[in-house]
Structure 1
């Protein structure tokens, strides 16, 4: 038995040596591994900075405010059901994640986003329910849509994009 194992091993080595000759084909060019590129934004959809139409007075769930709507043609039923929708407002002093609460016109108010199929309604209301604060057409808006089918990794599973700054979200998804 020991003898047949030895012959088998020798035969296997001999066959391997013969079949691995350097004359099997043309030599290839040695490639170099390039540097790892930045994380991409595969599957993530984002708009350009856009302005919204003039706002109009509206009451939503018993709350009076001003609203306007921006088109988001990529906002699908699947993203509404399973994805993440981030909306930002930008004006003179910076870029802010919605909902955004501030004191404007001397009153505490909030701007929020209400997402529906292919549309995002921007709604601004006063906390004291004493009237409205306008949504000027000079504000700039941007949305980022993260489909629910983007697989989470250990690194991204713990991320709450709504608590990240605009700059952090853009860096994470390599958004210009």
Structure 2
């Protein structure tokens, strides 16, 4: 009887062991859901800084671009101002004051003052740099002081000036121009200009002045 009981016990142990192995097989049943994430651990010390990258090129040829000439940010110019001269001047000379608020002592001492007169009566308007001799009359100007330009007209033969030629005027104030020490031009940044030999259109294009 004892031997039979032992045999039955062994068979049962073998059978239960098989069931246990089958129930633990990876192919039996689906994987359960993942558990909640644990708390984040402490952050470790920062690593050493990397080496600086190489500087980029300044331009296509790797060189700094050349600095441009003085632009309109440094130049002061007025609108076209209607002439205050009489339409018919009966005297041999006349003058009127032109207000120029931007004309400083520094510009008088170191800069350049340009004045232009415009004839808008002719079929083709013309702009003349002053001083200018037209029809026997000398049209000019002088700087009277800070903020003031004096426009003048005088006949060359002492007769009456007669009808005025200029209908309006414009001034251009260029600060900081320095004599070039040679041909009488004015050096602005690295370029030299002789404004007495330039037309109004050339000066306006140089400084980006619009009518």
Range into which the TM-score falls when normalised by the shorter chain: 0.5 to 0.7
Q: Please, what TM-score do these two structures have when normalized by structure 2?
A: 0.55
Q: 2:79 aligns with which of 38, 41, 48?
A: 48
**Larger CA Rg, structure 1 vs 2:** 2
Aligned with 1:160 (options 185, 194, 202): 194
- Whether the 8 Å contact between 1:66 and 1:134 is mirrored in structure 2 is no
Q: Secondary structure at the match of 2:169?
A: strand
Provide structure 1 residue ranges, at least 5 long, that are not aligned to the other structure: 1-18
Distance 1:175 1:110, change over 3 A: same
Please state how far the C-alpha of 1:98 moved relative to its aligned partner.
Answer: 0.4
Contact 2:176 2:188 in 1 (8 A): no
Distance 1:67 1:86 in 2: 17
Which of 101, 109, 119 is 1:91 aligned to?
119
Using the size of structure 1 for normalisation, the TM-score is: 0.65
Aligned residues: 143
Where does residue 155 of structure 2 map in the other structure?
126
Runs of 4+ in 1 over 4 A off after TM superposition: 19-22
* Secondary structure class of the residue paired with 1:172: helix
The 1:54/1:131 distance shift into structure 2, 3 A limit, reads closer
**What does 1:18-57 correspond to in 2, within 5 Å?**
21=50, 40-55=71-86
